[in-house]
Amino acid sequence: MRSWSAAWASAADLFWAHQSPSDHFRTSIGDEMAERMLTEVADVDKRLGHPPEFTIIDVGAGDGDLLRRLRDLAPPELAHRLRLVGVDLRPSPDDTLDWVIGTAPDGVDLSPVVGLVMAHEWLDEIPCDVVECDAGGVVRLVLVGGDGAETLGPPLAETAACAEYDVDALAASDWVNAWWPLRVPGERAEVGIARDHAWRWLAGLVRDGVALATDYGHTMESRRPTLVGYREGRLTAPRPDGTVNLTAHVSVDSCAAQVPGSTLYTQREMLPSVTPPPIDGADGPARARALARASTVARLRDPLGPGAFRWLRVERTS
Ligand SMILES: C[S@@+](CC[C@H](N)C(=O)[O-])C[C@H]1O[C@@H](n2cnc3c(N)ncnc32)[C@H](O)[C@@H]1O
């Protein structure tokens, strides 16, 4: 049996060694999101006085789709100054983008840039530990086997016993007390320390510009355990054996507290709505395109779907 963070980290390596994101989920990436990101890029570019090189780093870039869309949509006066960098565990499907293969944050060496650093549906992939309040009110580490079967491990108060599972129990305890206090037997928390670290790292990659992470998230008011698996678009039990993609919502308020100036929005707040075209007027194909766009944006703003995603954003200036 292992801690969830250890089991999840090996499972993620195994899963992503053989799988492509598009085979398993539909994320928010498309032209509509690229256009929204481009407004962010244009604002930063203007604020920075149109620097000679504007870097966009996408962490957890998947197949590099968003970066390619940004390159295609950028106006000429910006396009020739863009440096596009994808970071992912997986190789780039083509050689038209700068690409860094590695396990972010700690397995990737990048210097701070002028521009935009973004991560879409990456923070929720960062392995985290799970702890549970036992029948006696003691918070213990949850241990898991490769088949997903769980058992309660040592109490967080037993730091040496937790260290055998590579868990810093003091840090976990502090985090749980501050961000996800457990009081009732059976209650669980997904410990956000590694996600906090990931957001600090992402923000630290910006010398001048903006860092932006968008993800499934929750705050103190809405905490609930969310660890699940995904396979071919379906929810599955979370088995850390590399056959399913593991994900848990991000405690975005704790991430935000790590980086002064971080602000939190919902995706619905960040994406302007699009009014569907009237029945008369536009010609057939144009009207069909406009309708498709309005329907995509409506999906991305759906408060019961991607519209509830959280956007973490911070501006940095050297
Ligand atoms: C859910 S997909 C999102 C892909 C894309 N950003 C999108 O929104 O469509 C997550 C991506 O993050 C990558 N990934 C997961 N953990 C990572 C890590 N620790 N470092 C770098 N990439 C990681 C996976 O390989 C995968 O391509």
Q: How far apart are CA 121 and CA 59, in angstroms?
A: 9
**How much of the chain, in percent, has pLDDT values that exceed 90?**
78
Q: Is the pLDDT of residue 22 over 80?
A: no
Mean pLDDT calculated for residue range 205-210? 98
Q: Is the pLDDT of residue 216 over 80?
A: yes
Mean pLDDT calculated for residue range 169-193? 97
Q: How far apart are CA 180 and CA 156, in angstroms?
A: 14
Q: Ligand 1 centre from 248 Cα, in Å?
A: 14
Give the pLDDT confidence score for residue 279 in this predicted structure: 62
244-260 pLDDT per residue, tens = 999 999 999 999 999 99
Give the pLDDT confidence score for residue 281 in this predicted structure: 60
Q: Is the pLDDT of residue 185 over 80?
A: yes
Q: How far apart are CA 141 and CA 2, in angstroms?
A: 10
- Amino acid making up residue 153: G
163: Cβ–Cβ under 8 A, 6 or more apart, which residues? 169
Of 163, 152, 169, residue with least CA distance to 1: 152
Q: Does the C-beta of 120 come closer than 6 Å to ligand 1?
A: yes
pLDDT averaged over every residue in the chain: 93
Reported as a pLDDT band with limits 50, 70 and 90, residue 23 is confident
Q: Does the C-beta of 62 come closer than 6 Å to ligand 1?
A: yes
The continuous run of DSSP H or E covering 169 comes out as helix 169-179
Q: Does the C-beta of 124 come closer than 6 Å to ligand 1?
A: no
Closest-CA residue, ligand 1 atom 2, reads: 21
Q: Ligand 1 centre from 126 Cα, in Å?
A: 9
Give the pLDDT confidence score for residue 212 in this predicted structure: 98
290: Cβ–Cβ under 8 A, 6 or more apart, which residues? 276, 277, 282
Tokens representing 213 are: 């992470």
89-129 pLDDT per residue, tens = 999 888 889 999 999 999 999 999 999 999 999 999 999 99
37, 82 in Cβ contact below 8 A? no
Fold (CATH) for 21-126+193-233+247-271+297-316: Rossmann fold (3.40.50)
Q: Does the C-beta of 29 come closer than 6 Å to ligand 1?
A: yes
Q: Ligand 1 centre from 317 Cα, in Å?
A: 27
Report the residue among 22, 122, 124 best suited for mutation to probe ligand 1: largest number of ligand atoms under 8 A from its CB: 122
Give the pLDDT confidence score for residue 280 in this predicted structure: 63
Give the pLDDT confidence score for residue 18 in this predicted structure: 85
Of 147, 167, 144, residue with least CA distance to 1: 144
267-305 pLDDT per residue, tens = 898 887 777 666 666 567 777 887 888 888 888 888 888
Reported as a pLDDT band with limits 50, 70 and 90, residue 262 is very high
209, 315 in Cβ contact below 8 A? yes
Mean pLDDT calculated for residue range 38-44? 96
41: Cβ–Cβ under 8 A, 6 or more apart, which residues? 54, 56, 70, 74, 78, 115, 116
Give the pLDDT confidence score for residue 282 in this predicted structure: 59
Give the pLDDT confidence score for residue 70 in this predicted structure: 96
Mean pLDDT calculated for residue range 141-152? 97
Tokens representing 12 are: 């993620």
Please, what is the Cα angle at 10 between 8 and 16, to 5 degrees?
95
Closest-CA residue, ligand 1 atom 25, reads: 89
Give the pLDDT confidence score for residue 277 in this predicted structure: 65
303-316 pLDDT per residue, tens = 888 888 999 999 99
Mean pLDDT calculated for residue range 188-201? 98
Give the pLDDT confidence score for residue 39 in this predicted structure: 94
Which pTM was predicted? 0.94
Give the residue, 230 or 233, on which the prediction is more confident: 230
Report the residue among 89, 120, 216 best suited for mutation to probe ligand 1: largest number of ligand atoms under 8 A from its CB: 89
Mean pLDDT calculated for residue range 19-46? 86
